[in-house]
Amino acid sequence: MMLIIVILVVLAFIIVIANITVVQQSRAYVIERLGAFHSVWGVGLHFKIPFIDRVARKVSMKEQVLDYPPQPVITKDNVTMQIDTVVYFQITDPKLYAYGVEQPMAAMETLTATTLRNIIGDLELDQTLTSRDVVNTKMRAILDEATDPWGIKVNRVELKNILPPADIQSSMEKQMKAERDRRQAILQAEGQKKSAILIAEGERESAILRADAEKQAAILRAEAEKQSAILRADGEAQAILTVQKALADSLELLNEKAPNDQVIKLKSIEAMQKVADGQATKIIIPSEMQGLVGMASGILEAVKK
């Protein structure tokens, strides 16, 4: 009898220990009692009533990632392409997640594929390739609203790869190459244009500088010629003044000495000699001086003999 009691106590202890559950961080347990939903266990130590309570589902509350394989989609202009999608989601209500839909992950994949086809079907090929942000935003809004009754919150949706058909891709590459060549030609033309403008501006500046230099040189030459003319005129005036002063001084001396007629006539002859040294071809000698000239010529001949 004692052995039976010990065995029962040990069994009860094992059952109690087996029904003590520790819920880890970022996890939640959905508990059913007698087949119906009872509660959701959060982080901590919990006790489950043996044979009455059971853990219906263990749910991770962390953000999760679903990377779907490429899906064939058709654009508005009837181009078939392959697009693979990445969905970031988080379970916010374990009860709805457990009882909202059968196989939530499969339902998410199907919903993502159909939503992607609907959105891409309204876009042309070029819009699809250049509107990833728009597609991501629309898909996130639609999926978040559709999965809310399942206790799932969609945080972000990303189109990872967009693969058009090979012929379309080849045409796009040729178009891109032609566009790059066109941009290169435009850049070269712009560079040549700027270079020509800079050269023309440099030549214009150089011509202006040369003209300014020539103008300054002409001004300096004119100033030099002006100063030279002034100096020559001053020199000639000074020479004339000197000659006139010397003549006046000689006349003054003659007047002081009271010269006779013979001296005056001799001075006249000297003046006539100076006149004869000029360009005149004919000289008229006054009658009163002819005799004196003849006498002077005779004296000169006697001196020569």
CA 3 remoteness from chain centre: 94
Which of 247 and 57 is assigned the larger pLDDT? 57
Bridge partner residues of 163 (DSSP): 82
Do residues 103 and 73 both lie within one domain?
yes
Return the pLDDT at 63.
92
CA distance 31 to 267: 160
Question: For residue 276, is pLDDT > 70?
Answer: no
Q: What are phi and psi of 80, to 5 degrees?
A: -90, 130
Return the pLDDT at 272.
53
Q: Domain ends where: 35, 60, 85? A: 60
Average pLDDT, the chain: 81
Q: What percent of the chain has pLDDT over 90?
A: 24
Return the pLDDT at 177.
79
pTM of the model: 0.55
Plot region of 161 (φ>0 → left; ψ -120 to 50 → alpha; else → beta): beta
**Does residue 36 fall inside a structural domain?**
yes
Indicate the residue type of 121. G
Judge contact between 124 and 179, C-beta under 8 A: no
Nearest-5° Cα angle at 198, 197 to 204: 90
CA distance 249 to 300: 29
Q: Domain ends where: 19, 37, 60? A: 60
Report how many domains make up the chain.
4
The CATH number of residue 78's host domain is 3.30.479.30
Q: What are phi and psi of 54, to 5 degrees?
A: -150, 155
Return the pLDDT at 273.
56
Judge contact between 130 and 94, C-beta under 8 A: no
The whole domain housing 203 covers 192-258
Do residues 201 and 267 both lie within one domain?
no
Return the pLDDT at 149.
92
Do residues 98 and 55 both lie within one domain?
no
Task: Determine how many CB atoms are found less than 10 A away from the CB of residue 97.
Answer: 20
Tens-digit pLDDT profile for residues 6-47: 888 888 888 888 888 889 988 999 999 988 999 999 998 988
Tens-digit pLDDT profile for residues 194-239: 988 988 888 888 888 888 888 888 888 888 888 888 888 888 878 7
Question: For residue 259, is pLDDT > 70?
Answer: no
Do residues 68 and 155 both lie within one domain?
yes
Which of 112 and 286 is assigned the larger pLDDT? 112
Tens-digit pLDDT profile for residues 142-198: 999 999 999 999 999 999 888 887 777 777 777 777 888 888 889 888 888 898 898
By the 10 Å C-beta count (0-12 exposed, 13-18 middle, 19+ buried), 143 is classed as: buried
CA distance 146 to 253: 141
Tens-digit pLDDT profile for residues 63-121: 999 998 888 898 888 888 889 899 999 999 999 999 988 888 999 999 999 999 999 98
Give the confidence band of 282 by pLDDT, cuts at 50, 70, 90.
Answer: low
**Does residue 178 fall inside a structural domain?**
no
Return the pLDDT at 281.
52
| Run of H or E including 23 | strand 20-23
Return the pLDDT at 300.
47
